[in-house]
Amino acid sequence: MANVRVERTEDGGFRAVNGRGAEVRIGGGKDDGVFSPVELLLAAVGGCNIVTVEPLTAQRGHRLLRLAMTVESEKVEPNKLGPVTVTYDVEVPSEKADEVFRAVAGRVHDKYCTVSRSLGEGTEVKLEMSPPDETESD
C-alpha cells in the first residue's frame, strides 16, 4: 500500500511526507518554491513512466544518452484537467536503441505505469472523515 501524509506546516504552507522521510512542499499555482497539486499529478505521471522506462531500456543493453520528458495538461473546466500529454526528450546512441526505447516506452505507458493507468481508467477516489480530536476547554 502506498500512502503519504499531507499537512499544513507551521509557516502556513503545506507539505506531503512519505514514510521514508521524503518531503515535497505544496502550494498554490502562483506560490514560489512549491509544487501545485496539479503539477504533482503531472510529476507523478512523468516519474512513474521514466523510472520504469530507464531500467528496462538499460536491461536490454541500451543506455540512453539523455532521457527526459515534459508532461502537460490544460484545464478544460475550472476544476478538471483535459488529456495529459507525455513528450519524451531522448538522445539515443543508435537506431537499435531508439527502437528498443520506443517499444519499452509504449509498453510502459500502456501496461506498466500505475499512475497513467489509474488516471486513464478513472480510479475512484474515496473520502473518509476521522472523528475530530476534542480539546478540553474551561
Per-residue pLDDT of 64-95, as tens digits, reads 999 999 999 999 999 999 999 999 999 999 99
For the cut 90, the answer to whether the pLDDT of residue 63 exceeds it is yes
**In one letter, which amino acid is 39?**
E
Q: How confident is the model at residue 96 (pLDDT cuts 50, 70, 90)?
A: very high
Instruction: At 81, give phi and psi (nearest 5°).
Output: -85, 150
pLDDT at 31: 83
What is the third-level CATH fold of 36-121?
A: GMP Synthetase; Chain A, domain 3 (3.30.300)
pLDDT at 66: 96
State how far the alpha carbon of 50 is from the alpha carbons of 10, 28, 113, in Å.
34, 26, 9
Q: How confident is the model at residue 116 (pLDDT cuts 50, 70, 90)?
A: very high
Q: In this prediction, what percent of the chain has a pLDDT beyond 90?
A: 87
pLDDT at 137: 61
Q: How confident is the model at residue 138 (pLDDT cuts 50, 70, 90)?
A: low
pTM: 0.87
Opening angle at CA 128, ends 137 and 27, nearest 5: 80
Cell of residue 47, nine digits: 516519474
Q: Which of 87, 81, 55, 83 is nearest to 68 (CA)?
A: 87
Question: Residue 50 and residue 78: Cα distance in Å, rounded?
Answer: 29
